[in-house]
Amino acid sequence: MQVPGPSLREAASMYGTAVAVFLVILVAALQGSAPPESPFPYRIPLDPEGTLELSWNVSYVQETIHFQLLVRELKAGILIGLSDRGELENADLAVLWTDGDSAYFGDAWSDQRGQIHLDTQQDYQLLRAQRTPEGLSLLFKRPFATCDPKDYFIEDGTVHLVYGILEEPVRALEAINISGLQTGLQRVQLLKPNVSIPALPADLRTMEIRAPGILIPGQETTYWCYITELPEGFPRHHIVMYEPIVTAGNEALVHHMEVFQCAAAFESFPAFSGPCDSKMKPERLNYCRHVLAAWALGAKAFYYPEEAGLAFGGPGSSRFLRLEVHYHNPLLIKGRRDSSGIRLYYTATLRRFDAGIMELGLVYTPVMAIPPQEAAFVLTGYCTDKCTQLALPPSGIHIFASQLHTHLTGRKVVTVLARGGREKEVVNRDDHYSPHFQEIRMLKKVVSVLPGDTLITSCTYNTGDRKLATVGGFGILEEMCVNYVHYYPRTQLELCKSAVDPGFLQKYFHLVNRFNSEEVCTCPRTSVPEQFASVPWNSFNRQVLRALYGFAPIAMHCNKSSAVRFQGEWNLQPLPEITSRLEEPAPHCPPGRAQSPAGPTVVSIGGGEG
Amino acid sequence: MQVPGPSLREAASMYGTAVAVFLVILVAALQGSAPPESPFPYRIPLDPEGTLELSWNVSYVQETIHFQLLVRELKAGILIGLSDRGELENADLAVLWTDGDSAYFGDAWSDQRGQIHLDTQQDYQLLRAQRTPEGLSLLFKRPFATCDPKDYFIEDGTVHLVYGILEEPVRALEAINISGLQTGLQRVQLLKPNVSIPALPADLRTMEIRAPGILIPGQETTYWCYITELPEGFPRHHIVMYEPIVTAGNEALVHHMEVFQCAAAFESFPAFSGPCDSKMKPERLNYCRHVLAAWALGAKAFYYPEEAGLAFGGPGSSRFLRLEVHYHNPLLIKGRRDSSGIRLYYTATLRRFDAGIMELGLVYTPVMAIPPQEAAFVLTGYCTDKCTQLALPPSGIHIFASQLHTHLTGRKVVTVLARGGREKEVVNRDDHYSPHFQEIRMLKKVVSVLPGDTLITSCTYNTGDRKLATVGGFGILEEMCVNYVHYYPRTQLELCKSAVDPGFLQKYFHLVNRFNSEEVCTCPRTSVPEQFASVPWNSFNRQVLRALYGFAPIAMHCNKSSAVRFQGEWNLQPLPEITSRLEEPAPHCPPGRAQSPAGPTVVSIGGGEG
């Protein structure tokens, strides 16, 4: 229904609250498309105050996502979008805005300077705009891939959502520069796997591992550590699922949570509840590192496959558990109490298989290093055919979940399975990986690994802000490249990782020395990090290091635990030869692109429902 | 006008000649578009018999080419198209075909197996199909770029045209496999420069340098050498233009022609007319290498800029000229006489400037080498700021034409001008370069080079069919990377080329030795080609060689003639540092793509005009 102009003009001229009112009474009409059949199983707060809430569902058949954005306090408009790593420039945006007269919804993009432009091809399609008691609800959809070069390609793994709030009407979309707005970023896995929920046992019991009503510190980042314990004599059980418990009102503050089991080697662990970096934290808590459960923002309940469960309790395992909660509090909110945690669902009727966790990727050693000022340097760790041949059962193992891990410079992680020198399938890939968002992810498809298979884990790093080489290691300024894969049946193989042969690295330092006038790595043997620190990073030394890592033999860690190797010769192993590679993921352009409207949709203004 | 079906069906069932007749009576109708305003200045025979002839013009404003294809003996249809290097697979095709009932014209492509498919986007647009006394004339147009991923992007430089002849009707386009047809390839520069013809002097005279009515040998490839001479006492003149003279009927046989001036150092040269590789050819003719004029198939007249001319005649230059004609005779036609050659237009009124030719690129030395089995290995030669600073006049030189040169593995050549470490403009680029098609090309835009500028010439090689490294040198199985630039005013600088410092190459061989178990390049010093021949070409040695060429200092040849250097230190020069690169050429997608028809055009059959 079209409302006469003049009265609207008056309202618009009052700006501020007046415009807010004007837009809040904005209601549906729009392009005949039916609302999506299913509701929205996934939901995430976008801003730290939780005034913006995004829900969505995924259709893998139509390769489309339906989004429902709830805007609790609408002003003159809202931008929401996607960008490579959460930057506001070069972002792919859906924009709802008003020029004071009318309201519009359009598919837009921001350029390098943050200036907004309308897309020539409109791929965000508004289906409904509705006033609800909670706020304005926008329903819109978008295909995974649009093939508009200005659009983001929605892939598996992490997606960086950005948003911005328009405070005042704008005469045109092009008048908006995103740098002048209140904006923010949220990371989420949009393409959740479509796995069916396994049957749960009749004797299912639950146990809540929760923070004890703590006061969230008024600082941006807190990792809270809390030690709890299983009942004495708690026998062996299988965890078959777990889910987050987030204290109401704190949804936008609780960023991720993990439950660790402590080492069985110690009889007991001291009680503790406080920041993990506190000086008061007992040293011994560093031995509570065996992951039982992990959750991150946006994730749902985690289910073990029907034939497997994660063993805990019983002899040979510690009764002590450590809960770690990461609070992300950029508004420095004070006085908020929290009892968030994880609810474990477990059974005494042990399932057929124990689940296990195996560590793939690179050994934590400085011989694997990234030169400074690299935009995308790749390091690769191998789990060789020789190791899987020795350690895996004849029928193989089945990987059903994966948690990727790097330190601060990690940008992409991928693990690929190869058989007979040919890449066969991707175990897990995240081309928009962020070290700030490390969740355990169910795989869309269980990957079976047979004896003799090779697992290749590659991490891409950006060291644009580093002055010296970044070497491998445990330190936060050092790097890791790890994929913790969750699989069954559990085997003795806990760790299958590699690093370049140290002798070949010394040959590299020698040649750096020969090719450069400056003296590097001379006689009194210095440490590898010192050697790397003294390399002059010209194009030659960079490229030769890259060539070395792609050629030199490797040292394998094919270990039962972090210290115990399987028997065999693991040094100077040949680099696995891959004769056939998988193709990179590429967008499928949807057919019938011509159907999308050529310009923004005018959002008709009618009477409110609520 | 639609002709009733049954009678056509009968005709079609007779196939062969019947179908040929049926299609020959096919005449215009088609999509209202007007014919192009200008005629077709460019023309080339496609097949060795000359039954297919392609004419075209270029609109740089519309970024479109209009083609006119003359088919002298039409059978059931014709394919013509474009592909990266003249292969019939993965080609972009315009197809005229009949199913026996109707005739169709469509934009199609061939897959890796030569199977033909209709494009989803129709970018070849048929404007007219007309019977003429000479044969069927098809008029169609295509934009340079279509942004259909199956289409070829028409760029500057060499274009590989392919054609195929349909002998019989096909039930559908998809039933055609190009491997079953009579097919062929022709190389041509489609995007001829749009340069205006300079004013010619009043006292213009002509001289024809022509083969003396020779009998073209009945073999595929002949380079014919003919020695002629200028009149005694012929004074200094300026050549201001030249054009080809091709004996009528031999248009499809004469592939290219060059006129060389012999070296002034010799008093006289023996007469000769015969194949250049004949054992009877006098040794001394190898000293006739100074290019006066060059023409290749499809090229038009060559004009010098109004203020410059190429000096010939007079004291200090040889009276002796060598004409070289390349006959390409794949049908082994015998008994054909030929008097083709080049007509020089010259003036005694010397123009303001002498034109000169300068050689850019790589020195002919084995230190620049390409590993075997490389699909696209790049070697780069430099003309450094130090050399141009020393050798060029303060007001610089003006490059107006260029001839690119490599041996058999060359696939791309480009020369870029850099100033202050930043790439400024392309002198000449051919991304579809073929060593079988080396014509002198007028530049679209004259490029001015100032003292202190750097000229960077890069060649891309494909050594997929080689077992050993390909080293630089004069031999046909060795490689070159040269751009002969034509410029004015003439300077003393004849040669401005580089090669990697030989000492750094020895460091490379040393490190190859250290990193590989096999012994390479050991003590009794072997030659560089032998050293390269003994390198085991693993990924490391390949990448390090690439890194070396991108890093090591160079030896410059900044020469007045091939033997005389300008004064200065030219060894161990730093590689020019380029901080800002030009973007690669990218297609501009034409707006309004939606206008093109979605499927093939039905070619209406009416009464013939001729």
* Nearest-by-Cβ selection for A543 from B504, B507, B547: B547
What chain A residue is nearest to B120 in terms of C-alpha separation?
Answer: A591
pLDDT by residue (tens digit) across A160-207?
Answer: 999 999 999 998 889 899 988 999 999 999 999 987 889 999 999 999
CA distance to partner chain A, nearest, from residue B121 (Å): 13
CA distance A281 to A259: 17
Find the closest chain A residue to B547 by CA distance: A540
Tell if the CB–CB gap between A547 and B547 is shorter than 8 Å.
yes
Contacts of B514 in chain A (CB under 8 A): 507, 510-511
Phi, psi of A202 (to 5 degrees): -70, -30
Please tell me the distance in Å from A323's CA to the nearest CA on chain B.
47
Question: Rounded to an integer, what distance in angstroms lies between the CA atom of residue B268 and that of residue B245?
Answer: 27
B205-225: per-residue pLDDT in tens?
A: 999 999 999 999 999 889 999
Q: What angle do CA A192, A298, A182 make, to 5 degrees?
A: 120
**For chain A, percent of residues with pLDDT exceeding 90:** 68
Of A63-77, A511-525, B227-241, B366-380, the one with minimum mean pLDDT is A511-525
Q: What is the Cα–Cα distance from B145 to B586, expressed in whole angstroms?
A: 9
Sheet with B441-449, side-by-side order of all strands: B441-449, B397-405, B482-488, B356-362, B495-500, B554-559
List the catalytic residue out of A15, A117, A223, A287: A223
Cβ distance B543 to A544 less than 8 Å, yes or no, reads yes
CA distance B53 to B138: 11
Size of interface A-B (CB pairs under 8 A): 48
Which residue, chain included where needed, has tokens 């065996």? Answer: A290
Kindly list the residues from chain B whose CB atom is less than 8 angstroms away from the CB atom of residue A553: none
Cβ of B543 within 8 Å of Cβ of A539? The answer is no
* Look-up of token digits 């057919």: A591
Amino acid (1-letter code) at residue B185: L
3-class secondary-structure state, position A304: coil
Over residues A426-448, the mean pLDDT reads 94
**Chain A residue numbers touching B546 (CB-CB < 8 A):** 543
Contact B547 A551 (CB under 8 A): no
pLDDT 10s digits, A224-270: 999 999 999 999 999 999 999 999 999 889 988 999 999 998 999 99
Q: What is the pLDDT of residues B460-493, one digit of tens each?
A: 999 999 999 999 998 878 999 999 999 999 999 9
Cβ–Cβ below 8 Å for A544 and B546: no
The DSSP element (H or E) to which B17 belongs, if any, is helix B16-24
Sign of torsion over alpha carbons B502, B507, B512, B518: positive
> Which pLDDT belongs to residue B19?
37
Give the Cβ contact number of residue B343 at 10 Å.
16
The answer to whether B362 and B461 are in contact (CB under 8 A) is no
**A507–B510 C-beta distance less than 8 A:** no
Q: How many CA atoms lie within 13 A of B16 on its CB side?
A: 2
Q: Which residues, listed in sequence order, are joined to residue A59 by a DSSP beta bridge? A: A64
Identify whether the C-beta of residue A237 lies closer than 8 Å to the C-beta of residue A311.
yes
Instruction: Give, in order, the Cα–Cα distances in Å from B100 to each of A597, B172, B522.
Output: 41, 10, 72
CB distance A543–B540 less than 8 Å?
Answer: no
Chain B residue numbers touching A546 (CB-CB < 8 A): 543
- Check: CB of residue B176 under 8 Å from CB of residue B97: yes
Cβ contact (<8 Å) for A539 and B551? yes
Q: What is the least distance, in Å, from the CA of B82 to any CA of chain A?
A: 25
In chain B, the residue whose alpha carbon lies closest to the alpha carbon of A514 is: B507
Contacts of B515 in chain A (CB under 8 A): 504, 507, 551-552
Give B548's contacts in chain A (Cβ within 8 Å).
540
pLDDT given for residue A601 in this prediction: 66
Interchain pair B548, A540: CB under 8 A: yes
A353-354/A308-312 β-pairing: parallel
Question: CB A604: neighbour CB atoms within 10 A?
Answer: 16
List residues of A whose CB lies inside 8 A of any B CB.
504, 507, 510-511, 514-515, 538-540, 543-544, 546-548, 550-552, 594
Whether the bond between A371 and the residue before it is cis, its omega within 30 degrees of 0, is no
The reply to whether residue A550 touches residue B538, judged by beta carbons under 8 angstroms, is no
Nearest to B538 among A510, A538, A551 (CB): A551
Per-residue model confidence (pLDDT) at position A517: 67
**Contact B478/B470 with Cβ under 8 angstroms?**
yes
**Helix axes A502-515 and A539-549, enclosed angle (nearest 10):** 160
Q: Which DSSP letter does residue B170 get?
A: -
Percent of all residues in chain A with a pLDDT value above 70, rounded to a whole number: 88
Measured between beta carbons, the chain A residues lying within 8 angstroms of B510 are 514
Distance from the A202 Cα atom to the nearest Cα atom in chain B, whole angstroms = 56
Cβ-based contacts of A539 with chain B (< 8 Å): 547, 550-551
CB-nearest to B507 from A515, A547, A552 is A515
Q: Give the chain A residue whose CA is nearest to the CA of B589.
A: A149
* Alpha carbon distance, N-terminus to C-terminus of chain B: 17
DSSP A526: P
Contact call for B552 and A539, based on CB within 8 A = no
**Per-residue pLDDT, A330:** 85
Q: How buried is residue B401: exposed, middle or buried, by Cβ count under 10 Å (0-12/13-18/19+)?
A: buried
What are residue B291's phi and psi, to 5 degrees? -70, 130
Residue B290, amino acid: H
Name which of A150, A507, A538, A540 to mutate to probe chain B: the one with the most chain B Cβ atoms within 10 A of its Cβ: A540
Task: Measure in Å the smallest separation between the Cα of B193 and chain A Cα atoms.
Answer: 31
Report whether A219 contacts A357 (CB < 8 A). Answer: no
Alpha-carbon Rg of chain A, whole angstroms? 27
Picking from A121, A507, A511 by the largest number of B CB atoms within 10 A of its own CB, the best residue to mutate is: A511
For the annotated catalytic residues of B, the residue numbers are 223, 405
Give chain B's contact residues with A (Cβ, < 8 Å): 504, 507, 510-511, 514-515, 538-540, 543-544, 546-548, 550-552, 594
**Mean pLDDT, chain A, integer:** 87
Positions of chain B with pLDDT under 70: 1-38, 517-525, 562, 589-610
Average pLDDT, stretch A147-151?
A: 78
Most B CBs within 10 Å: which of A120, A508, A544, A554, as the mutation test of the B interface?
A544
Residue A567 falls in which region: left (phi positive, over 0), alpha (psi -120 to 50) or beta: beta
Q: Do A548 and B540 touch (CB under 8 A)?
A: yes
A584/chain B closest Cα distance in angstroms: 17
Residues of A within 8 A of B504 (CB-CB) are: 515
Over residues A68-83, the mean pLDDT reads 93
A52 DSSP β-pair partners: A71
Which residues does A422 contact at the CB level (< 8 Å), separation at least 6? A578, A579, A580
Is residue A405 part of the annotated active site? The answer reads yes
User: In chain A, what residues touch B539 (CB-CB under 8 Å)?
Assistant: 547, 550-551
B533, β-bridge pairs: none
Q: What is the pLDDT of residues A374-385, one digit of tens each?
A: 999 999 999 999
Q: Identity (one letter) of the amino acid at A92?
A: D
Query: Would the pLDDT of A37 be above 80?
Result: no
Q: For chain B, how are helix, strand and coil distributed in percent, rounded to 5?
A: 10, 40, 50
pLDDT above 90 for A50? no
Measured N-to-C along each axis, helices A5-13 and A16-24 cross at an angle, to the nearest 10 degrees, of: 140
* Nearest neighbour of B544 by CB, restricted to A504, A544, A594: A544
At A299, is the pLDDT very low, low, confident or very high (cuts 50, 70, 90)? confident
pLDDT score for B27: 36
Cβ contact (<8 Å) for B514 and A515?
no
Q: CA–CA separation, B390 vs B386, rounded Å?
A: 6
Cα separation, A73 vs B372, in Å, equals: 66
Chain B residues with CB-CB distance to A515 below 8 A: 504, 507, 551
CA nearest to B552 within chain A = A540
